[in-house]
Chain A
Amino acid sequence: MNDMRPLERAVETKEIKFECRDCQVYYGDTHAIKDVNVDIEDKTVTAFIGPSGCGKSTFLRCLNRMNDTIDIARVEGSFLLDGENIYDKRVDPVQLRAKVGMVFQKPNPFPKSIYDNIAYGPRIHGLAKNKAELDEIVEKSLRRGAIWNEVKDRLDAPGTGLSGGQQQRLCIARAVATEPEVLLMDEPCSALDPIATAQVEELIDELRESYSVVIVTHSMQQAARVSQKTAFFHLGNLVEFGETGQIFTNPKDPRTESYITGRIG
């Protein structure tokens, strides 16, 4: 895997996966996201950083319309995924979510077996024709989730019986099992210990080969470690968006600088 990296770094610009323009989100009367414009590239890890309540998770949840489940949330603006607006009336959110997978802050495996946790998505989307194909998908996903070796002997054991870090990797494996194009991660390591965090970060770096990954994180070190692009949110505004190296070494906006040096947040 690592030997491919120089090749990728050589590529100057990548295809844009998500093009978000003039995005606004309201929770009732609260204006939670204000005029956000962001381009998320394919096969790139994009990190959203910012203090609590700045709207980064809200914005992330817009990208696969998870905010639809919140009655009072209202989303405006255009979110173009491969040129199609995901908030178009004709778009079925279910189909969208198969394309844009999500991993949540708290590991939330289904209270079913490890196998069923992974197989659930492929089953409801009809990705496997028979049991053999399904087995293959499960194995492939668990390998991608970097958890195969730990669970291959106990696929029938309940997913809830794993440790926190294993559960989170199981959830990542579950998310990639449906072959998404974009993977959204909402603070995936905030409930994990440093070792599990390192494993998940390693995994994110590998996932970049095949997906566009968007990660929300509170840890600036984590953003610096895993991402190529970083977006800094503050009070619902996108303050600065750019190459991770540039954001952390040479921020243009004074607010970004204050945040990464620990003066606000």
Chain B
Amino acid sequence: MTDATAQGPDASRPERSGSLIALDERTRRRNRSERRFRLYGLIAIGIGVLALVVLLTSILSQGLPAFQQTFVNASVYLDPAKLDKNGTRDIEEIKKVSTFGYAPLIADAMDRKMESLGIDPEEFGLSDKDALEMISKEAAAQLRRYVIANPDQIGQTVEFRFLANGRIDGYYKGRVTMESAERDSNVSPAQLRLADELKADGALGTYFNWDFITAADASENRPEAAGIGVAIIGSFYMMLVVLFLALPIGVAASIYLEEFAPKNWFTDLIEVNISNLAAVPSIVFGILGLAIFINYVGLPQSAPIVGGLVLTLMTLPTIIISTRASLKSVPPSIRDAALGVGASKMQSVFHHVLPLAMPGILTGTIIGLAQALGETAPLMLIGMVAFVREYPGAPPEGFFDPASALPVQVYNWTTRADPAFVERASGAIIVLLLFLLCMNMIAIILRRRFERRW
């Protein structure tokens, strides 16, 4: 102002024309740069959205078929002579019959099915053995599990859905064609034609694949049986460990640091190190877990408890940083008010500050959990990448049983040769994304519900 008056009106406003209708050059330039900036922003968002759409379409198109599976319907006679020779129905006796004992039952069931439909495999140039190959190698185990779960069904004829071979399944999902079958040692075009015939007669069909969600992993040559059941349980157990360790430790640490700790070089040091810890690559935490929890403490490998502990260490800085930020955002007048009526420091924190900071703390915790849920690298180092066929037990013992985890399962399947596992891996990614989506939804809902104005 003083400058303008000192220089006089002519000197200070050389470019301005009198009219407001005609924009001067300066304003035009400013408007242009503003429009340009908006365009950049739109382009940036466009790239992001495009990447997301491409990613989701690719995952969904590859992964959704994993939720469908081809099965062969057949009625199988559970022959007591083979399954329970003594006729005692003792479950321990029945368990002694291995999957080899069940194979003849399935062969028999398939024979009768073909006969009843009037289909002769010979017509397709297939032996009985070739026809049987269309059923998954897992089928016998599938039947054995059923019998062990329902021993009273022995001696009965039951309708059963056998998993079809992965290649047959792939044929109906477009992964296997007649041409590729020519060159495939695992399946022949004749088998595919027989499958088509069976399908036309309703003996073969595609159904929703609950087993994908509940079943355990399966070996290299039977992708049709692989599921993410063990991985979901393992991930769930780890999340429990993380929640019950990281939330109390993280919140207690941040309350102390934010509200009680004196400000000196030592707390500054701690503060800097917590921020540094948040930036440490997760694989380093894996090495730490391997060295301390497994080698030194002697906890079992591949166990959710170790995974949970490692992920807790990884999540703690996230929780501490977000909790401290939300504690800081509570206005100091609330603290003064509480102290003013004679509340102690702790009462003022727990009665007034903490409830106000709650939405932020919960959001931070859930984001930390979501981050932990998707973490792969540290889990590989502590052995969770192993092939785990057995379900972990119920907690608390289950925390010490070997288990897998969702992201590790995805990694595991992508390393396998059979293309059917690509579909499985994408399916597992969909499940993982759904879980993450749910957690973020919960975070949003909690924030909405607890948010209070002051």
Contacts and interface: CB of A to CB of B under 8 A. Distances in A.
A9 B437 CA distance: 72
A71 B344 CA distance: 17
Interface stretch (B110-118, B213-221, B308-316, B329-337): B329-337
B341 A178 contact: yes
Interface residues of A, number: 27
A95 interface: yes
B96 interface: no
A124 B347 contact: yes
Contacts of B341: 97-98, 101, 120-121, 124, 174-175, 177-178
Interface stretch (A34-42, A103-111, A195-203, A207-215): A103-111
B342 A94 contact: yes
A13 B3 CA distance: 61
Nearest to B355: A111
A111 B453 contact: yes
Contact of A104 (B263, B340, B343, B356): B340
B447 interface: no
Contacts of A110: 334, 337-338, 352
Nearest to A184: B340
Given A97-B341, A108-B337, 17 more contacts: A66-B340, A71-B263, A94-B344, A97-B342, A98-B341, A103-B340, A104-B333, A104-B336, A108-B334, A110-B338, A110-B352, A111-B334, A111-B356, A120-B338, A124-B342, A124-B351, A125-B342
B452 interface: yes
Contacts of A175: 340-341
B248 interface: no
Contacts of A94: 342-344
A250 interface: no
Contacts of A120: 338, 341, 343, 351
Contacts of A101: 340-342
Contacts of B342: 94-95, 97-98, 101, 121, 124-125, 178
* A94, A121, A177, A178 pick with most chain B CB within 10 angstroms: A94
B155 interface: no
A108 B356 CA distance: 14
Nearest to B336: A104
Interface in A60-109: 64, 66, 69, 71, 94-95, 97-98, 101-104, 106, 108-109
Nearest to A97: B342
A174 B338 CA distance: 10
A160 interface: yes
A165 B331 CA distance: 20
A130 B352 CA distance: 23
A97 B352 contact: no
B337 A109 contact: yes
7 contacts: A66-B336, A69-B335, A95-B342, A108-B333, A111-B334, A120-B341, A121-B341
B262 interface: yes
Closest 9 CB pairs of A and B: A98-B342, A121-B341, A108-B333, A102-B340, A97-B342, A108-B337, A111-B454, A94-B344, A111-B452
B339 interface: yes
A71 B343 CA distance: 19
Contacts of A111: 334, 356, 452-454
Interface string A173-185: 0110110000000
A94 B345 CA distance: 8
B124 to A, nearest CB: 77
Interface in B131-188: none
Contacts of A174: 337, 341
B326 to A, nearest CB: 15
A98 B334 CA distance: 17
B454 A66 contact: no
Contacts of A247: none
Nearest to B343: A124
Contact of A66 (B339, B343, B351, B453): B339
Contacts of A97: 339-342
Contacts of B331: 108
Contacts of B356: 111
* B331, B337, B356 pick with most chain A CB within 10 angstroms: B337
Contacts of B352: 110
B70 to A, nearest CB: 59
A171 interface: yes
Contacts of A125: 342
Contacts of B337: 104, 108-110, 171, 174
A124 B342 CA distance: 8
A214 to B, nearest CB: 14
Contacts of B343: 94, 120-121, 124
Interface string B185-215: 0000000000000000000000000000000
* A97, A103, A175 pick with most chain B CB within 10 angstroms: A97
Contact of B454 (A121, A160, A171): A160
A226 to B, nearest CB: 20
A124 B454 CA distance: 22
A110 B339 CA distance: 12
